Amino acid sequence: MTALDASPTDATTASTPARHPLRWIVFAVVFAANIMDLLDATIVNIASPAIHRDLGGGANTVQWLSAGYTLAFAVLLIAGARLGDILGRRPLFLVGSAGFTIFSAACAVAPDIGTLIAFRALQGAFGALMIPQGFGLMREVFDDTEFDRATGLFGPAMGLPMIAAPILAGVLVDADLWGTGWRLVFLINVPVGLVSFVLAVRALPRGASHSGLKLDLTGVWLIGLALVAIIYPLIQGQPDGWPAWTFVLLGAGLALLLAFLRWEQRRRTDALIEPSLLRNRHYLSGIAVALALFGAFGGLLLCVSLFGQLGEGWTPVHAGLTLLPMVLGMMAGMIGGTVVVARLGRHVLHLGLVVIAAGAVVLALTVTGASTVSSWDLVPGLFLVGAGAGASISQLFQFILSSVALPEVGSASGVLEATQQLSTALGVAVLGTIFFSDFGRHLATHSFAMTVWACLVPIALAFALVFRLPMHAREDAAH
């Protein structure tokens, strides 16, 4: 029986201690790392107009503040996962955690927009060392049953901060404590990072490194160049008027992405992605669902903030609080999804996606033909979008990771996290470009409606892809 055929239960029972005394502290450390990552990945959606007014830059600066972080994260994340296998997950997590915290503080003191974007990219790079070690570290300390319980909490950990961060950012920017303005939003991670680092030194298992493995540098270059070639023209093309080079670069990016996949399939040793994962139909289908879902959701979040602050003239705290119905909807969706998943199986994902689509339609119809709208007008649509996202995101990770055996978990979690970051960057790039291409020429309500209608495309794609997942997360199936 190969590693691919081994069930997670078999693999875990064979190599994981049943009871690690500090296992829930390990969970708390990994949980905190993901919270810090998602706060910094989404918090600038609210803060970016204030940053733009203070430091200047072009219209696409708002997109680069978000995409610069997520792009660096996605490019280096898969390599970070493999380095954890080579050097050990504990040291990689500690280095990543320290660097992430340091550059969080550095962002708060950036003197100009170029430096801030550079610091954001470095923040993402260190996050790419830290984050992919998390699931592997948890696999080392939890038995199979507790691992399922712990990963079940990661749906809320991934989804809720995406909504809560804009509200927190709005409060901090408007409060302008000690004259810090937007800079305070980057400092909130520093105390969390310091406490998390101290706990990590104490609790993380030392585990084993595999010095015989090597990093696939060719694969790193191929995937890195591919992602940059895809994301850069999507953001830079609109303000430059879509010159021919943008389409050439997009084509080159897609070609490089295909070359990367073919290269990894041919690698028998030291592959950047475990070759068995590329033959795991359930895992690949789940990754495709995540790519579509997070792209639509992350891009829509940015555009709600842009519409409120740039179009309607709302303050940052007003724009953040406007998302409160989405927070409440997401909490309700998470609870509901957990309750019904045993009965509905993968159809809970279908149900969540339908509710997201319904919310998007309500939002688009609400603003269509209107010259202005209030936050109250957006409540029904935002609540539905949040409820659907909560039900979908809270369960998706279990469906994806349940098909992964222990030897694959480092690579699998790295690809999953990279997909989430890449899809968010793509969503910000594509939906942000749609918004800005219309903004200024028509009413802001028209620009927002166009963007919301566009997000239905990846939602529909995700709905179709869910049919390729197993009916239940622990269902055995041939890959």
Query: Could you read off the pLDDT of 123-146 as tens digits, one per residue?
Result: 989 988 898 888 778 878 877 777
The CB-side HSE value for 142 (13 A sphere, CA atoms) comes to 22
- Count of structural domains, the chain: 1
Query: Could you read off the pLDDT of 221-267 as tens digits, one per residue?
Result: 898 898 888 888 877 777 777 888 989 999 999 999 899 888 887 77
pLDDT category at 452 given cuts 50, 70, 90 is very high
| 30 contacts: CB under 8 Å, gap ≥ 6 | 134, 135, 137, 138
Question: Does 243 reside within a domain?
Answer: no
In this predicted structure, the answer to whether residue 167 has a pLDDT above a threshold of 80 is: no
Strand partners, 442: 439
CATH code of the domain in which 278 resides = 1.20.1250.20
Query: Could you read off the pLDDT of 212-223 as tens digits, one per residue?
Result: 677 888 888 898
Q: Is 174 within 8 Å of 316 (Cβ atoms)?
A: yes
In this predicted structure, the answer to whether residue 111 has a pLDDT above a threshold of 50 is: yes
| CA 403 vs CA 57, 286, 390: distances in Å | 45, 10, 22
pLDDT category at 406 given cuts 50, 70, 90 is low
Query: Which residue from 238, 154, 250, 261 is spatially nearest to 437, judged by alpha carbons?
Result: 238
Q: Is 333 within 8 Å of 386 (Cβ atoms)?
A: yes
| CA 146 vs CA 43, 89, 152, 167: distances in Å | 31, 20, 10, 32
How far is the C-alpha of 226 from the C-alpha of 259, rounded, in Å?
Answer: 9
How far is the C-alpha of 49 from the C-alpha of 313, rounded, in Å?
Answer: 11
The stretch 333-347 carries a mean pLDDT of 87
Q: Is the pTM of this model over 0.95?
A: no
pLDDT category at 364 given cuts 50, 70, 90 is very high
How far is the C-alpha of 440 from the C-alpha of 236, rounded, in Å?
Answer: 18
Per-residue confidence (pLDDT) for residue 150, from 0 to 100 = 74
Instruction: For residue 178, give both structure tokens.
Output: 């000690």
Question: Does 239 reside within a domain?
Answer: no
Question: Does 89 reside within a domain?
Answer: yes
Per-residue confidence (pLDDT) for residue 195, from 0 to 100 = 93
List of long-range contacts for 398-402, beta carbons under 8 Å, 24+ apart:
398/148, 398/151, 398/152, 398/155, 398/473, 399/282, 399/286, 399/346, 399/349, 399/469, 399/470, 399/473, 400/282, 400/283, 400/286, 400/287, 400/290, 401/135, 401/151, 402/8, 402/470, 402/473, 402/474
Query: Could you read off the pLDDT of 38-62 as tens digits, one per residue?
Result: 777 667 777 877 888 888 776 677 7
Question: Does 169 reside within a domain?
Answer: yes
| 403 contacts: CB under 8 Å, gap ≥ 6 | 280, 282, 283, 286, 470, 477, 479
Residue given tokens 């105390």 in the structure block: 191
| 233 contacts: CB under 8 Å, gap ≥ 6 | 245, 246, 247, 249, 250, 253
Residue 470 backbone dihedrals phi, psi, to 5 degrees:
-65, 155
Range of the domain at 349: 8-216+267-466
Question: Does 328 reside within a domain?
Answer: yes
Question: Does 100 reside within a domain?
Answer: yes
pLDDT category at 161 given cuts 50, 70, 90 is low
How far is the C-alpha of 70 from the C-alpha of 42, rounded, in Å?
Answer: 10
3 state DSSP class of 439: strand
Strand partners, 439: 442
Query: Could you read off the pLDDT of 2-15 as tens digits, one per residue?
Result: 333 333 334 333 44
Q: Is 150 within 8 Å of 138 (Cβ atoms)?
A: yes
In this predicted structure, the answer to whether residue 447 has a pLDDT above a threshold of 50 is: yes
pLDDT category at 162 given cuts 50, 70, 90 is low
Q: Where are the beta strands (DSSP E) in 375-425?
A: none
Query: Which residue from 11, 1, 8, 27 is spatially nearest to 282, judged by alpha carbons?
Result: 8
